[in-house]
A = this chain, B = another copy of it.
Amino acid sequence: MENKLPTITEIARRLNISASTVSRALHNHSSIGLRTKMRVQELAKELNYEPNQTAIFFQQRKTFTIGVVLPELSEAFFSAAISGIEDCAYKNKYTVLMGQSHDSEEKEKQIIETMKSHRVDGLLVSIANKTNNYDHFESLKRYNIPVVFFDRIPDMPDIHYVACNLISGTIQAINFLIKKGHRVIGMLNGPEKLAASKEREEGYIQAMKKNRLKFDPTLVVNCDLSTDKVYAATEHLLKLKRKPTAIVVFNDYVALDAVQYARRQKLRINKDICFVSYANLPISHYTAFPPMASVEQFPYLQGQKATETLLELLSNKDSGQEGTNTYYKIILESQLVIKENNIADQVL
């Protein structure tokens, strides 16, 4: 119980040498004689000595901790991403501090504040849906805490980020639909501000152009991703004069809602109306009417790359080359995954 944890000073006292010698001995410093080294290391092992990290953190102005701020762990994308982050971090002796914004800007600010005060070495952030104001990120720069954004990237200059290029995946998706005979294709897109939304639209436009189809802007609707808004957006698309026969939806979750709405309207999924979406979640495998295809965004890989990038920034910082004004912009390519015949097919 009252086993005070052994310290370097304690070891020094017992061996009648100085703390500095002990410290150096434990680090295998070359200037310490072999005999002393051995004696120190032996006693350290015997006493079960473990360095007091809090002291070291303090002294070195470094915590070997990275903060991760993301919207929602219950979304499969993020839980996969955090696995990538964690694996990479632990491999490099870093530790992961977690915070969910639940898509609230307020919460996001708080978390960032807390993490800043806990002196994390760096941050990995996927911003909240509704975040409009980026001051809390700007302030981090002044504190010299590097940030790498992933997946949900704010519209700011001079930032590091890792993202998945959705243009290619979107083009693949549209091509797929066109090949299936669709000509009027709707897009149920996310908030306009998100880079991810812009890319989807961009891909949509490019694909239409490449296929020599006219781009009809009324076929693209933006909405935040709440169920109600998704219903409304789906309704809007389905009531257009030029009614789409297929819809590309922001992601698999949203697609579930959109499908739900369509079914309430007595539409036959995959006959009257087809859906393609993003994320390629495993659950949609079990789902009643999964999208016909889904664009994989490689969350684990994104998490991993983002972490690697951050760690590199940190090691540059340590070696003193702070001011390098280069910004990492890492882009992975997305990829369309066409679903096998699903459960629903078997029903019919």
**Residues of A with Cβ closer than 8 Å to B?**
1, 3, 5, 50-55, 57-58, 61, 63-65, 68, 73-74, 76, 79-80, 82-83, 86, 90, 93, 95-100, 102, 110-111, 114-119, 142-144, 256, 260, 263, 283, 286-289, 322-323, 343-344, 346-347
- Copy count, this protein chain: 2
A55 touches B58 (CB 8 A): yes
Chain B residue, CB-CB nearest to A111: B90
A53-B118, A90-B114, A97-B97 known, 11 other contacts, Cβ within 8 Å: A1-B144, A52-B58, A68-B98, A73-B79, A74-B83, A83-B100, A86-B98, A90-B99, A98-B98, A263-B343, A288-B347
A263 touches B346 (CB 8 A): yes
Chain B residue, CB-CB nearest to A57: B54
B99 touches A97 (CB 8 A): no
B117 touches A53 (CB 8 A): yes
In the assembled complex, how far is the CB of residue A5 from the closest CB belonging to chain B, in whole angstroms?
7
**A to B CB contacts below 8 Å, 7 in the list:** A1-B144, A54-B58, A74-B80, A82-B98, A283-B287, A286-B288, A289-B343
In the assembled complex, how far is the CB of residue A294 from the closest CB belonging to chain B, in whole angstroms?
14
Residue numbers in B under 8 Å from A346 (CB-CB) = 263
A119 touches B286 (CB 8 A): no
